[in-house]
Amino acid sequence: TQLLEQSPQFLSIQEGENLTVYCNSSSVFSSLQWYRQEPGEGPVLLVTVVTGGEVKKLKRLTFQFGDARKDSSLHITAAQPGDTGLYLCAHESYNTDKLIFGTGTRLQVFP
List residues near another protein by CB under 8 A.
Answer: 4, 6, 40-45, 86, 88, 90, 96-104, 106
Least Cβ distance, residue 66 to another protein (angstroms): 19
**Residues, the chain, total?**
111
Q: Which lies closer to another protein via its Cβ, residue 23 or residue 79?
A: 23
> 66 vs 104, which CB is nearer to another protein?
104
> What's the closest the beta carbon of residue 49 comes to another protein, in angstroms?
14
Q: Tell me how far, at minimum, the Cβ of 105 lies from another protein, in Å.
A: 10
Closest to another protein by CB, 60 vs 103, is: 103
Looking at the DSSP bridge assignments, the partners of residue 33 are 48, 90
CB within 8 Å of 83: residues ≥ 6 apart: 60, 76, 107, 109
- CA angle centred on 45, ends 81 and 14, rounded to 5°: 15
Helix, strand, coil shares, percent, the chain, to 5: 5, 50, 45
